[in-house]
Amino acid sequence: MSRYVLRRLLLTLPVFFGVSVLVFLILHLSPGDPALMIAGADAPPETIRAVREELGLDRPVYEQYASYVGRVLHGDLGRSVRSKEPVSQLVAATFPKTATLAVAALVIAVLVALPTGIIAAVRRNSWIDNGTRLAAFLGVSMPVFAVGLLLMWVLSYKLRLLPLSGYGGPVWTIKGFKAVILPAVTSASFSIAVLARLTRSSMLDVIGQDFIRTARAKGLAERVVVYKHALRNALLPVITVLGVQFGGLMGGAVVTETIFAWPGMGRLALNAILSRDFPVVQGVVLLVAVMFVGVNLLVDLVYGFVDPRIQYD
Amino acid sequence: MNAMRRKAPALAALLTALALIVSACGGSPKDGATAGGTGGQQGQPVKGGTLTVARIEDTETLDPQRTTAVSSNHINAMVYDTLVVQDYDMSLKPHLAEKWEISDDQKTYTFHLKQGVKFWSGKDFKAADAKYTLERWLGLKGSPSSYLIKPIDKVEAKDDYTVVVTLKEPYGLLLTNLASPYASMLNSEFTKQHDADYGTKPETVDGTGPFKITQWSRNDSLTLERNDAYTWGPGIVQNKGPAYVDKIIWKVIPEGATRMAELETGNAQFTADVPAVDVARLKSSQSVKLVEYSDFNTVFIGMRTNKAPLDDIKVRQAIQQAINKQEVVDGGFYGLATEAKSPVAPGLPGAPADAAQTSYKYDPAKAGQLLDEAGWKMGANGIREKDGKPLKLELWYSKGANIEVVIPMLQAQLKKVGIQIDLKQLEWAAYLEALRAGKHELMYMSIRYTTADGVLYFYFHSGQRPAPNRFEYVNKSVDDLLDKARASSDDKAQAKAWEDVQAQVMKDAFWIPIVHEKRVTGVAPTLQGLKLHPANVLYKGLDLWLSK
C-alpha cells in the first residue's frame, strides 16, 4: 500500500511538469501583452518597453520558463505583475475560501444525492423516481448563474433569511455559516443532479444481479439488502465521479464566486487571465493541478476501503 | 480607459427578467432620479457611521505610482493628498502646495508647502517627501504613469517647506499631472523601507489623507478608517476635516444584480457601477436614488487612414454622415449619453465653443452621394461596388457600455448607405495587441480624460503611432499645434490651439466622436453630502455623512 502511494506520488512529477509547460506556453502564445495591460492601452511605446523589461518579458520564452521553474523549486511563485503582491500570499488568502465552498458543496451534494438516488432506484418508476428525474434534469440543464440568482432572489432579497453576498468568515461562526449556504447550494446543484442519477442507475445495475436475489431469497431484511449488499457495490462509480466533481469545485467555481462576490481562487484566476497576470495564473493552475492529483489519489485509495477486492501492490 | 466588464448576453437577459419582476413587485412608482452631480442634503452633518461602497472590481495596489486603474485611484484619493488638486470644474487649485510661482521662462516651478501636515505615522510632511515622491515616480522602472512628468529635469528641496521643480522644456501640463492621483505624496523613509512591498497591504501604506487603510482582503473588501488628525482638506470641499463617517468599506461585488440588490436592501449605500439594464427599474425605487454625473469621456470610431478605401476622404466623410448619433443615444445608451460633436467633451478647457460648426450631421443621402462620387456605385444586393469589389469594412471592438446593442446598430446604419460592416470582437488584452499590429480598418473604443491633451495629443500626434494613434494620422500642422499647447501656460492660447486641432481632425474625417456617456451612480437615501467629482467620484469623502 505505501509502495503504491509512493509510486503514485512519483508519477505526479511528470504531470506537474507537463502542466507547468502547457500553462506557460498557452499564456505566452495567446494574444495579449501583460506589459500593455499594466502600462495602459495608450501608454507610449517606451513605457511599454520599460514595463516589459521590468517583467523580464523581453527574454526568450524558454529562458523565462527556466527561471520560473528555478524559482518555483525554491518555493517562490513570483509576484503578481498587477498588484506586486507575492503570488503565494494571494493564493494562500483565497484557497481556504474556495476550499470552504467546495467542501460545503460536496457535503450538500452527497447528503442530498445519495439518499434520493437510492430511493429512486428502490422505488423505481414511482412518483419519487419521476420527481427526482425531473429535478435532476432541471439541475443539470439550469445554468449555475440562474440557480444562484433565483436562490438569492427568494431567500435573501425577498425573505431576507440569508446574506446576499460576500464571505462571512470561518464556517463555524454563525455569520460565516449563513454566508456559505447559498453559494454552496448553487455550486452543488449540478453535482446533486449528476450524482443522484448516477447513484440510481448504478443501484439499478446492482439490484438486478444474482447475489441480490440470493440475499433476498435468504430472507434478509430489505434494508440490509439495499444498504449492505447493493449500495457498497454501487458506490464505486459514484466515488469516481464525486472525486472529479470535487476537483472541479476546487478549481474554483468562477460563476458562483462572481454572483455571490465570494473572494475565492476562481475569481482570482479569472481576473489574472483577463489582465494577463501570468505569475498568478501559473500559481493558481499549479495549485489546482496538485489538488486534482491529490483528490484522484484519494479516490483510488478509498476504492480499497469500499471494495476490499481491490488490491494495491 | 473605461474599465467596465463585459456581461454575458444570457446573464443580461436574466437580469432583465428579474428587473421586470422587481418592477412588478415594487410599490407605487415615484421619480427617484436626480439630475446633476449633487444628491440631496438634509440637515446638519452628523458624525459617525459606516459607509459601504459596492464596486465592480478591487484595487490593484495602493502604490499610486504603479497603477493607473480607476479602482486604485478611488482609494488613493482618500488615503493620500497631492500638491495640487483639480476642482469640480477641472480648474487647478492649491492643496499641499499652498501656492507656487512659475519662472518667466516657464521652466522653474517653486512650490510652497502647507505646514502642519502629518502622515498617519505621525511624521511631518516636508519638502524632502515631495522631492522623494517626484524622483521615485520619475525613475520608477515599470511605472505606467511616469511619462506624465518626463519633462522634469530636477527636483530640489530648498528648505523644509519649499520645493523647486526644474523642467527641461516648458510643459503646460505639469500642474494638471501633479493633481492626478499618481502624484500622491509619499512618506520618503517609510516608502524606502517597504520598497517592493509598498502598497500591497495595509501595513505598508502611509499617507497624509483623510482616511487610513486598516484592512484589505483581496477581491472582497477594503476598509478605510477616519484619520482624526486630518484638518488640511483642500479648498474645493466644504469640510476640511476630519471626515464625518467613521469608516468607509469598499466591497467588491462583481455581479451587477447582486451589487444592486445589496444597495436596495440597505447593505451598501453607494455604487458608481449601476448596470444600464437596472436604470429604468431603479428610477422608481424607494430604496435607491440614481444620481447622474458627467466625467469627460468620448465613445468613438477611428479609421485607419492609410488603408483603402479609407484613404479616400470621401469614403470617410460618407461614413461620418451615415452615423445617426441620436439613435445611438436613445436606443443604444437608453438616453444615458449625449451626442458627441467633437473629440473633447463640452465643459473642459479646449472643447470647441461651437462644435456643431465642424461636426458632421446625419445625412444618409449626402453620404450616398459622396460614395457615388468616390466611384462606389450601389450594387444589386444593397452593397456598393467599385471595379467589381464590394464596399466591405471590418469593425473591431472589445468592450464598452451596451456594446451588444450599439455595435449592431452602427452596422445597420452603415448598411443603409451601402457599406457592409463585418464585426470582429476581441477580448480586451488581445484587442489592444491586435490594434498595435495595425491590421484594423474601423475600431470602436471609449476614452476618459481630464484634459483636452488627454484625447488630442494622445490620439492625433504623429509621435503617438502605432498606438494610441491607431489611425496612422500624420498632420504636421496638428503636431505643431499640439506641441504648442503642451508648452504653453497661457490658458487662452492653449485652448485655442486645442480647438484648432479639433477643427482639423474633424475636417480630415477619420475619427467619429459618437457619444459622451453619462455616468449613473446608485445612492442610498441615508447618504448625504454627496458631490460627485468628474475625475474621482467620491473624491476625498470629507463631506459625506450618514443620516439615521
Residues 133-152 of A with CB under 8 A from B: 143, 145-146, 149, 152
Q: Across residues B115-135, what is the average pLDDT?
A: 97
Q: What is the pLDDT of residue A289?
A: 87
Instruction: Please work out, in degrees rounded to the nearest 5, the angle formed at the alpha carbon of residue B251 by the alpha carbons of B248 and B253.
Output: 155
Shortest CA gap A265–chain B (Å):
10
Cα–Cα dist A304/A236, whole Å: 10
Higher pLDDT, B244 or B9: B244
Residue B44 class from Cβ within 10 Å (0-12 exposed, 13-18 middle, 19+ buried)? exposed
Model pLDDT, residue B41 = 52
Cβ–Cβ < 8 Å for B247, B223: yes
- DSSP-derived letter for residue B125 is P
Peptide bond into A183 cis (omega under 30): no
Predicted confidence (pLDDT) at residue B12 exceeds the cutoff of 70 = no
Top-confidence range, A132-141, B16-25, B320-329, B488-497: B320-329
Of residues B12 and A106, which shows the higher confidence score?
Answer: A106
- pLDDT score at B43: 79
Residue among B523, B537, B543, B530 nearest B52 (CA): B523
CB-nearest to B68 from A40, A149, A275 is: A40
pLDDT digits (tens, 9 = 90+) for B80-100: 999 999 999 888 999 999 999
For chain B, the average pLDDT equals 89
Alpha helices in A56-173 (DSSP H): 61-73, 87-122, 127-141, 144-151
Q: Under an 8 A CB cutoff, do B430 and A30 touch?
A: yes
Instruction: Calculate Rg over the CA atoms of chain B.
Output: 25
**Confidence band (pLDDT; 50, 70, 90) for B240?**
very high
Question: What's the rounded Cα separation, in Å, for the pair B442 and B454?
Answer: 21
- Please report the pLDDT score of residue B29 as a whole number: 30
Res. B22 pLDDT band, cuts 50 70 90: very low
Give the per-residue pLDDT at B14. 46
CB pairs under 8 A between A and B: 148
pLDDT of res. B42: 60
Q: In this predicted structure, what is the pLDDT of residue A120?
A: 93
pLDDT at residue B462 is higher than 70: yes
> For residues B540 and B474, what is the distance between their CA atoms, to the nearest angstrom?
41
% helix, strand, coil for chain B, step of 5 = 35, 20, 45
pTM: 0.85
ipTM: 0.83
B251 CB neighbours in chain A (<8 A) are 166, 261
Strands (E), B76-184: 84-86, 92-94, 97-102, 108-113, 152-159, 162-167
- pLDDT computed for residue B144 by the predictor: 83
- Using a CB-CB cut-off of 8 Å, the residues of chain B touching A256 are none
CA–CA distance, A8 with A11 (Å, rounded to integer): 5
By C-alpha distance, which of B200, B209, B263, B279 is closest to B542? Answer: B209
Query: Do B271 and B282 form a contact (C-beta atoms < 8 A)?
Result: no
What pLDDT tens digit does each residue of chain A (313 aa) get?
788 888 888 888 898 889 889 988 888 888 888 888 777 766 777 788 888 888 888 888 889 899 888 988 888 888 888 888 899 999 999 999 999 999 999 999 999 999 999 999 999 899 989 999 999 999 889 999 999 999 999 999 999 999 999 998 899 999 999 999 999 999 999 999 999 999 999 999 998 889 888 988 888 888 888 888 888 888 888 988 988 888 888 876 889 999 999 999 999 999 898 888 999 999 999 888 888 888 888 888 888 777 778 777 6
**What per-residue confidence (pLDDT) applies to B533?**
93
The CATH number fitting domain A87-306, selected from 3.90.1200.10, 1.10.3720.10, 2.40.50.100, 3.10.520.10: 1.10.3720.10
Share of chain A above pLDDT 70, in %: 99
> Residue B260 — very low, low, confident or very high, per pLDDT cuts 50/70/90?
very high
Say which amino acid occupies B520.
V
C-alpha cell at B316: 470617410
Of residues B201, B254, B432, nearest to A41 (C-beta): B432
pLDDT at B33 (0 to 100): 34
- Flag if B262 and A165 touch (Cβ within 8 Å): yes
In whole angstroms, give the CA distance from residue B205 to residue B189.
Answer: 12
Sheet with strand B384-386: strands edge to edge: B377-378, B384-386, B389-390
Average pLDDT for B336-362: 92
Question: What cell was used for B495?
Answer: 485652448
Which of B310, B329, B295, B340 shows the shortest CA–CA distance to B443?
B310
Predicted pLDDT at B47: 95
Cell representation of residue B490: 497661457
Stretch among A80-89, B319-328, B510-519 having the lowest mean pLDDT: A80-89
Give the closest of B142, B200, B219 to A267, CB-based.
B219
Contact A143 B468 (CB under 8 A): no
> Grid coordinates representing B146?
511616469
Nearest to A40 among B63, B144, B255 (CB): B144
Q: Do residues B468 and B458 touch, judged by C-beta distance below 8 A?
A: yes
Determine, for residues B200 and A83 on separate chains, whether the beta-carbon distance falls below 8 Å: yes
Instruction: State residue A300's pLDDT score.
Output: 85
φ, ψ dihedrals at B396, nearest 5°: -95, 140
Does residue B60 sit at the A interface (CB-CB below 8 Å)? yes
Query: Residue B159, Cβ neighbours under 10 Å: how many?
Result: 10
Q: Which residue of A has its CA nearest to B455?
A: A42
What is the tens place of the pLDDT at every residue in B405-436?
999 999 999 999 999 999 999 988 889 888 98
Q: Which residues lie across from B384 on neighbouring strands? A: B378
CB distance from B403 to chain A under 8 Å? Answer: no
> Can you give the pLDDT at residue B380?
87
Tell whether B217 lies on the interface with A, counting CB pairs under 8 A: yes
Query: Whole-angstrom Cα distance, residue B317 to residue A33?
Result: 34
Count other C-beta atoms under 10 Å from residue B308's C-beta: 10
Average pLDDT over residues B154-166: 97
Per-residue confidence (pLDDT) for residue B32, from 0 to 100 = 33
pLDDT for residue A7: 87
d(CA B315, CA B509): 9
**What pLDDT score does A42 carry?**
67
Q: For chain A, which residues make up each domain, given as ranges?
A: 87-306
Confidence check: pLDDT of B23 > 50:
no
> What is the rounded CA–CA span in Å between residue B206 and residue B79?
8
Out of A37, A83, A153, name the one closest to residue B429 (CB).
A37
pLDDT(B21) > 50: no
> Of B33, B41, B54, B208, which Cα lies nearest the Cα of B130?
B208
Calculated CA dihedral for residues B191, B195, B200, B204, nearest 10 degrees: -40
- In percent, how much of chain B has pLDDT > 70? 92
Chain A residues within 8 A of B264 when measuring between CB atoms = 157
pLDDT reported for residue A4: 83
B192-204 average pLDDT score: 92
Q: How far is CA A185 from CA A140, A291, B65, in A?
A: 14, 22, 42
